[in-house]
Amino acid sequence: MSTLVILNPAAGHGRSARFREDVLRAAEAQWGPVTLALTEGPGHATALARDSADGTLRVIAVGGDGTVHEAANGLLTRGGRAIPALGVVPVGTGNDFAKMTFTARVAPRAAIAALAAGTTRRFDVGLAWGEYFVNSLGVGLDADVARRVNEYKHWPGSLGYIVAALQAIVHRRALRLRIEVDGESWSAPTTVLEIGVGPCAGGVFYLVPDARPDDGLLDVCAVGAIGATFLLTKAYRVLGGTHTALKEVRMARGDRVRIASEDGPLTAHLDGELRAPGSDVLDVALLPGALPVLVADGGGQAA
């Protein structure tokens, strides 16, 4: 077996299951023999990727960012065995990781063809609380958005993310955090803290617009306590990534980040997956070039 296709039939409001035969036929046409595995619930994609047979050259995740997150964690915990390249056929909501592989907004059959014609690159990976993330980690309002968005996953496109963000903004509160990036630290009330391997989270929010998945750095965006004036006149700039010079925003870059909370245990999202292990300290490390990734030939939507 050279190719394993992991398909999440629940992704994209169930649309993913409709592409099963298209993806299988397209993958076989490009790479020969293919094993297709359907996920059965949370964590299953991790197990499937981790336990993929020796000699597997590529694992194709068909689903959203949650499926990608699980598949990547499986590949990165193979116990010293060779790591197959991860390819993404996006059938999710935000498809943030797929923006970095040029397959976002590309139909499944075309995405397979573009990946086959593309190259393999080494992407950086973040590690926090013993779990890997391949695009973003968020604390504060960002984590609250991830919590709320589960209620709107049946809504089309990024609309659910936008509604969840508006709700989180209404109920926002600044956390008292001490943030350290490569030895430089500051303490401040913080409403949003985003740590990015890639530039986009939630489908449309470019909190760390200069982040690149292979530059050996984590990009950090910390937004302080914000009021109605900021929300009405400046918050929209996050959509275009033009907020970085605002006085309420602090940007930093490094390969190690520590977050310490004065307000009790932290909650964070890792690639949109909510985590709350009961700790008031979160250490984030970067593993440069840890994940081989199939990158399309450029015919898709760039980050």
Query: Would you state the pLDDT for residue 239?
Result: 82
Query: Would you state the pLDDT for residue 300?
Result: 44
Residue 228, φ and ψ in degrees, nearest 5: -65, -35
Q: Please state at what angle helix 159-170 crosses helix 141-149, rounded to 10 degrees.
A: 130
Rounded to whole angstroms, the Cα distance separating 119 from 114 reads 10
* Chain centroid to CA 95: 8
The arithmetic mean of pLDDT across residues 142-171, rounded, is 68
Which has the closest alpha carbon to 219: 190, 257, 250, 253?
Answer: 253
Query: Would you state the pLDDT for residue 90?
Result: 94
All domains of the chain, ordered by start, with CATH? Answer: 3-130+290-295 (3.40.50.10330), 133-284 (2.60.200.40)
Rounded to whole angstroms, the Cα distance separating 12 from 250 reads 34
Indicate whether 121 pLDDT > 90.
Answer: yes
More confident site: 301 or 176? 176
CB 4 within 8 A of CB 35: yes
pLDDT tens for 42-74 read 999 999 999 999 999 999 999 999 999 999 999
Indicate whether 208 pLDDT > 60.
Answer: yes
pTM (predicted TM-score): 0.91
pLDDT tens for 65-114 read 999 999 999 999 999 899 999 999 999 878 999 999 999 989 999 999 99
